[in-house]
Amino acid sequence: MRRNPPRPRPPRPATRRSPGCCWLAPRMTTEDAYGDLLDGIGHGVPQVLDASTSEYAGLLAAHRGAAAEATAEGLDPRSTLLLLFTSGSTGAPKAVICSTGRWAFICQVNPITFTSDDVAYNAMPIFHGNALMSALGPCLANGAAFAMRRRFSASGFLPDIRRFGATFFNYVGRSLSYVLAQPERPEESDNQLRFGFGTEASVRDRAEFSRRYGCPLLESYGSSEGTCYIICTPGTPDGALGVPQQGFAVEIVNPLGEVCPPARFDASGVMLNPADAIGEIVSRGAAARFEGYYKNPGASQDRLRDGDFWTGDLGYRDEQGFYWFAGRTADWLRVDSENFGAAPVERILSRFPGVTAAAVYPVPDPVTGDHVMAALEFSGGEFDPGAFGSFLGEQPDLGTKQAPRLVRVTTNLPMTATHKVSKPALRRMLWNGEDPVYERIGERYVLMTADRRGVLEAEYARHGRDHLLGL
């Protein structure tokens, strides 16, 4: 509910739904700042259009006011409309094929409903699935206005939503944290936002945004491949994904294809059966929804098994039937013969005061299995290793094997193009780089020195595991 009376609506921004727009495939469109990225990949592309030139402006002007004309390709639901790249947070991005039929279906059955009076403020790059499926598409389907700036700005968020009279905005967890890092201002609640929609924001950030802006936030889990959707419903616990959307049969499955039992917890919230309860999120019978990865049949086949789609994400289901995210399959950690996922540990570390983002990932143990390593992003202030060690000892739901052995402290976590933390980059850095790294010795965290790095690396060599440090 809006806490202040609505202000008079400003003029509606122009929508991006020009009646004269057309697809210029197989041309490529870029601008001067990024043109060099296309060097060497122009085979089969007869023309590269530079959006910063007068030539490009002339092409658009020639269609201004033109009547929309249907083409055979546009009316064919099997036509490839666009390639949607996966995040690349745990490996190389893959180009997901999205047909005109799939996009039209998603835009029309999307639970995000707009009217012609709505203004959607898009805070994500237009190539992001969140922008295409949760903002631009529903706007086109419902006649709502679509507003965006050239580049996302955390400091510009508040002026933008007020200037456009935005009633909706979309986000990912990182963009929301950037907005909240801005100094609080009394005029934040003076807005027309009805709700926001996104993914991967922390419980704390969602609550803080709702407090400051008077706007509820909705989240869901969905695969870029369009095969699996889990949505929040009334009663969903804080931090949980929710339950499968109607029409999707989702299960948590172990590597043998067996359904995992529900997770059980003790009175402190520690999971009692992580090795049994955590498995891969699998969408049953969803292979037919998957249109494949562009020119990557091997990767496409890896996702399919007996008509089911294996998402590559880990999760678990609690005894009430709610689903929880546990990381990517690459986020499995094995410590002292105990397996667990990274995401539950990240949720705990994010509670530490000053942490704006936390990433947990495995690095090799010198002898066997993994060490738990964490990278903590601080927006400001000093990291207190003593306070951090005390904090971990006070977390009742932190398992005995889950406390990080190594902690990197940084002001900027490495990010992918889709604003997700790049764990491959973190794993490659190990304990090297400019950021301070702390090592847990006993119950204390001690700053790692160059001498200690040498001793640690020699230990890997002594056990014949030094080759793992270059992976």
**pLDDT digits 0-9 by tens, 175-196:** 898 899 899 999 999 999 999 9
The lowest-confidence range among 17-31, 79-93, 361-375 is: 17-31
Q: Where does the pLDDT of residue 323 fall: very low under 50, low under 70, confident under 90, or very high at 90 and above? A: very high
**Mean pLDDT, residues 223-240 taken together:** 89
Query: Mind listing the pLDDT tens digit for each residue in 255-264?
Result: 899 999 999 9
- For the chain, the residue count is 471
d(CA 228, CA 195): 23
| Strands (DSSP E) found in 321-369 | 323-328, 333-335, 338-340, 355-364
Residue 333: predicted pLDDT: 87
Element (H, E) at 161: helix 157-164
Residue 468: predicted pLDDT: 78
Q: Which of 314, 353, 330 is nearest to 425 (CA)?
A: 330
| Contact predicate 30/160, CB 8 Å | no
Query: Mind listing the pLDDT tens digit for each residue in 111-142?
Result: 788 999 999 999 888 888 889 999 999 999 99
Torsion angle of C-alpha atoms 150, 152, 155, 159, degrees rounded to 10: 60
CA-derived radius of gyration, the chain? 24
| Contact predicate 129/85, CB 8 Å | no
Q: Where does the pLDDT of residue 19 fall: very low under 50, low under 70, confident under 90, or very high at 90 and above? A: very low
Q: Which of 176, 118, 179 is nearest to 146 (CA)?
A: 118
d(CA 336, CA 345): 17
The lowest-confidence range among 30-34, 220-224, 225-229, 412-416 is: 30-34
Q: Which of 95, 26, 92, 74 is nearest to 291 (CA)?
A: 95
| Contact predicate 463/364, CB 8 Å | no
Instruction: Give me the residues paired with residue 373 across strands.
Output: 361, 406
**Inter-CA distances, 382 with 355, 379, 387, 388, 408, Å:** 11, 10, 11, 11, 13
Torsion angle of C-alpha atoms 102, 106, 108, 112, degrees rounded to 10: -170
**Mean pLDDT, residues 67-79 taken together:** 87
Torsion angle of C-alpha atoms 327, 333, 338, 340, degrees rounded to 10: -10
Q: Where does the pLDDT of residue 438 fall: very low under 50, low under 70, confident under 90, or very high at 90 and above? A: very high
Query: Residue with structure tokens 């040498």?
Result: 454
Query: Mind listing the pLDDT tens digit for each residue in 59-69?
Result: 889 888 888 78
- Within 10 A of 205 (CB to CB), how many other CB atoms are there? 21
Residue 396: predicted pLDDT: 92
Residue 111: predicted pLDDT: 73
The lowest-confidence range among 44-48, 393-397, 439-443 is: 44-48
Indicate whether 49 pLDDT > 80: yes
Q: Which of 417, 468, 421, 427 is nearest to 85 (CA)?
A: 417
Which parts of 12-62 fold into alpha helices (H)? 54-61
More confident residue, 145 or 246: 145
One-letter identity of residue 7: R
Query: Mind listing the pLDDT tens digit for each residue in 268-300?
Result: 888 899 889 999 999 999 999 999 999 999 999
Indicate whether 4 pLDDT > 50: no
d(CA 305, CA 307): 6
| Strands (DSSP E) found in 100-190 | 119-122, 145-147, 168-172
Task: Indicate the pairing of strand 80-85 with strand 119-122.
Answer: unpaired
- Within 10 A of 24 (CB to CB), how many other CB atoms are there? 11
d(CA 387, CA 257): 43
Query: Mind listing the pLDDT tens digit for each residue in 446-469?
Result: 999 999 999 998 988 887 888 778
More confident residue, 452 or 25: 452
Indicate whether 13 pLDDT > 50: no
Element (H, E) at 200: none
Residue 91: predicted pLDDT: 63
Residue 328: predicted pLDDT: 80
* Residue 154 CA from chain centroid, whole number: 18
Query: Mind listing the pLDDT tens digit for each residue in 378-423?
Result: 877 689 999 999 999 999 999 888 999 999 999 999 988 777 888 8
d(CA 176, CA 124): 11
d(CA 72, CA 453): 63
Indicate whether 89 pLDDT > 70: no
Classify 421 as helix, strand or coil: strand
Report the alpha-carbon angle 408-428-332, nearest 5: 80
Query: Residue with structure tokens 């950030």?
Result: 205
For all residues of the chain together, what is the average pLDDT? 86
Indicate whether 428 pLDDT > 80: yes
Tokens at residue 334, please? 């094995």
Bond into 26 cis (ω within 30): yes
